[in-house]
Chain A
C-alpha cells in the first residue's frame, strides 16, 4: 500500500496540470459510458472496470476512494485503468467515486459522479465458458476457455482446432473444482471426457436403455456421481418470431452416472414416458436431485405447450438409489410459465432458475429472466434488478453464495455476454456488471457468444494435446445401465 500510493499521486499531479474541470453542478447529466458501471457492486478481487466514453471524443475520469485520486485520460475513447492502481482503489467494503469529464470547447465538462461499490465478498478467481457462434446449426472454430477474473487473462481449456473442428459442450465442474470436470465432444472424436485425479478418461455413454448419449450434466458434490439428462434434441427456425430459434426435445429422461463404476442408473420417476425430464442438479449436500419436468406434447407443433416444472427427488449417495417421492418446487401448472436450469446456492438457501413463457432452451427466449426461490421460507424473488430486456439465462453460483454469473443477450439481442451480480444473505441483489475486459471493444466486436459460465477456483490444467490424443485414439470406456 505504502509503496503504491506515491505512484498514484504523481500520476494525478502530472495529468491534473493539463486538465481544468469545474465541480459538477447538482443537475449535471449522467455520463454516457459503456459498459454501464454506474452504481454497480463488484468484488474486491475483480479486474479493473475499464470503460469507454460514449459521448464526445475525449474525456477524463477521476477515480476517488479513501483520499486517493486517480486521473485517467481517454485513449481512443476508452479509460484503461492500470491494474496495480485499480487494486489500490478496489478496497473491500468501500466505495469508489468516479467523475467523468467530457471535453467540450477545450474544457473538460464534468458529468454526474457515480459510485462503484466494492463488496467485502470475494469472487472465484476464474470463470470457465464456451465461446461459440450464437448460430443455428453449424460451428467452425469453437472452444472452452477460462478467464482469470482478477486480470484479463483468458486461456483455452480445450479448442476444436486440435480435434478436427468437432463440437464440444456441456463443461461441468464438481463444486467449482478445476481438477474435477467433464465435457462432451460431439461428431468426430465424440465422447464424454472426465478429468479427475490428474487423469483423463473417455466415455462412450449411449446405452441401449437410454434415449441418447449423456447430455446436460451436474456433478454430485462428492465427485462420485454426475447427474445427466438424456435427450432427443431438435431445433427449428422461426419465420417472424424475434426468438429466431427454437430448441426442443422430443423425449428426455434424467439419469445419474457413477464415475468409478461406469454405470448409469435412474428411477421410474425420472424416466416417465408420459413426461420429459431434463436439466438435473444436485443440492449442495448431495441428498436431493433437482430436475425439470413437463408433460409431453406433440412436437414440434406443441412447442408452445411445453412448460417445465422444477421437481426434486431424494438421492442416497451411499446406496446409489433414489427416493420414491417427488416434490414439486416450482409448479408450472400454477404459474402458467416455464422454469429451467435449477441451481442451488452452495449454502443451500436459494434456488436460482430461468423463467420463460414456454420451452426448453431459455437462452433463445427473449423473455427469459432469472428468478429465485428462498428454500428456507419459499419466498419468490423476481430479481428485477438484475434481469435485462433480453434473454437472461445459464447461471452459476460462486462458492460463497454471494455472486452469480450468467449469460445475457441484453447488449445486442444476440451475442450473449457474461454479467455478474451480488446477492446478499437475504436474497437482495445489487446492480449487475458486465464482466470487465481490457478493451471494451472486445464485447462489441466479438462475434461469439459466451456460453455456460461456471465459476472455478483456479485454472484447469490438463494437457490439451493429451486430451486431443485421447479423443482421437482412445476407444473409450463403455458406460452400462444399472
Chain B
C-alpha cells in the first residue's frame, strides 16, 4: 500500500515536472503585466521594469505612460547585456518590439545558447519569427521542427509552418508582416552608431511603425538627452512617423521651450499642458512639492538631477 502511494506521488511529481518543462506560450498578456505592476513601486528591478516597459510599448502606451512608473534610465528598456539567458530574453523582446529584427534575432540566439535547458522554447519561437521575417526559410523550418517537439508548443510551431517559403503569407501575417516592413533595404552595422541611429533608420524606412519612434524618444528622455530628443522632434514631428506628440514628448517639448521660445507651440503642445509645466516650475521655485506631477517627465528629470 505504501509502495502504491509512493508510486502515485512519484508519478504526480513527474507529471508536474513535465508540465513545468518549457514555458507555456504567452504566459502573460501585456495588459496583465501592466496590471500586476504597481505604479508605487519605487525599488527598481530592471528585469521587471523592462517587462513593464515592453508591455507599455506593445499596448501603444509607452510614450504616454512611461513616467507613470519609477524609471531608471534606458536600462529599463534595454537591460544591460550581462550574457545571461534572462538578459538575452529581455533584450530580444525589446528589440523585437522596436522593430530591430536583426538584433532581436541575435539576442534570442544568445539567450537560447545561455539557457541551461537545451532549448528555450520562447527564444526558439523568436528565432522562427525573425528568420521568417528575413525569408531565411530553411533555418526557420529547422527551428519549427525543434519547437514542435517541446511540450505545449506544437500548435504554435505548426502555425508557423504554413508561412514557410511563402513571402506573401509572411507579409500578410499581422505581426511578421509589420516586422518585415521594418527591415531597412540598406544594410547598416547594428548598434555601432548607437541604438538611436538604428531606430532612426527603421523609422525613416517604415514611418508607419510608431513603436520605433516611441522607443527612440523615450530612450532619449530616460537618458536626459535633450539635444538629441529635440533633433528627433525636428526631423520627425508632423511627418507620418510622428503626427502628434504623445504625453511625455509634449512634456519634454515644454521644457525645450526654455531654450527655444515657443517651441511647445510649434510642436502642437496644448496650452493646458504648457500651463501645467509652468505650474510645476512655479511650485519648484516656491519650494512647494511638485508631487502632483509625479507621473511626468518633468518630475523624472528633477529627480535625476537631484541624484
Name A's B-contacting residues (CB within 8 A). Answer: 133, 135-140, 236-242, 244, 246, 300, 411-415, 444-445, 447
Is the pair B113, A140 in contact by a Cβ cutoff of 8 Å?
yes
19 more CB-based (< 8 A) A-B contacts, given A239-B100, A239-B189, A414-B139: A133-B113, A135-B113, A136-B109, A137-B83, A138-B114, A140-B114, A237-B191, A238-B187, A239-B103, A239-B190, A239-B198, A240-B188, A241-B187, A300-B189, A414-B136, A415-B139, A445-B142, A447-B118, A447-B119
Contacts of A411 in B (CB 8 A): 138
Q: Which chain B residue shows the least CB distance to A447? A: B146
Q: Which chain B residue shows the least CB distance to A301? A: B189
Is the pair B189, A237 in contact by a Cβ cutoff of 8 Å?
yes
Is the pair B192, A239 in contact by a Cβ cutoff of 8 Å?
no
CB-contact partner of A240 in B83, B142, B184, under 8 A: B184
Query: Known: A138-B110, A239-B102, A239-B190. Is A412-B183 also a contact (CB below 8 A)?
Result: no
**Complex Cα distance A39/B192, Å?**
47
The 6 A-B residue pairs with the shortest CB-CB distance, nearest first, are A412-B138, A240-B187, A237-B190, A241-B187, A412-B139, A414-B139
Is the pair A413, B110 in contact by a Cβ cutoff of 8 Å?
no
Q: Is residue B185 within 8 Å, beta carbon to beta carbon, of the partner chain?
A: yes
A309, chain B: closest CB distance, angstroms: 25
Q: Which chain B residue shows the least CB distance to A237? A: B190
CB-contact partner of B183 in A236, A239, A244, A413, under 8 A: A239
Is the pair B185, A445 in contact by a Cβ cutoff of 8 Å?
no
A and B contact pairs by CB, cutoff 8 A, 28 listed: A133-B109, A135-B109, A135-B110, A136-B106, A136-B110, A137-B83, A137-B110, A138-B114, A139-B113, A140-B114, A236-B189, A237-B103, A237-B189, A237-B191, A238-B188, A239-B183, A239-B184, A239-B190, A240-B184, A240-B188, A242-B134, A244-B102, A411-B138, A412-B141, A413-B136, A444-B142, A445-B142, A445-B146
**Complex Cα distance A154/B232, Å?**
56
Which of B138, B187, B198 neighbours the largest number of chain A CB atoms within 10 Å of its CB? B138
Q: Is residue B235 within 8 Å, beta carbon to beta carbon, of the partner chain?
A: no
0 or 1 for each of B131-162: is its CB under 8 Å from A? (1 = yes): 00010101101100110000000000000000
Contacts of B112 in A (CB 8 A): 447
B89-113 interface (Cβ within 8 A of A): 100, 102-103, 105-106, 109-110, 112-113
Contacts of A241 in B (CB 8 A): 187
Q: Is residue B186 within 8 Å, beta carbon to beta carbon, of the partner chain?
A: yes
Contacts of A133 in B (CB 8 A): 109, 113
Contacts of A238 in B (CB 8 A): 102, 187-190
**Complex Cα distance A239/B99, Å?**
11
**Complex Cα distance A266/B185, Å?**
45
Contacts of A246 in B (CB 8 A): 189
Contacts of B103 in A (CB 8 A): 237, 239
Contacts of A137 in B (CB 8 A): 83, 110
0 or 1 for each of B179-203: is its CB under 8 Å from A? (1 = yes): 0000111111111100000100100
Contacts of B119 in A (CB 8 A): 447
Query: Known: A237-B189, A237-B191, A239-B183. Is A413-B138 also a contact (CB below 8 A)?
Result: yes
Which of A239, A241, A300, A445 neighbours the largest number of chain B CB atoms within 10 Å of its CB? A239
Contacts of A242 in B (CB 8 A): 134, 136
Contacts of B134 in A (CB 8 A): 242
CB-contact partner of B83 in A138, A239, A300, under 8 A: A138
Q: Which chain A residue shows the least CB distance to B134? A: A242
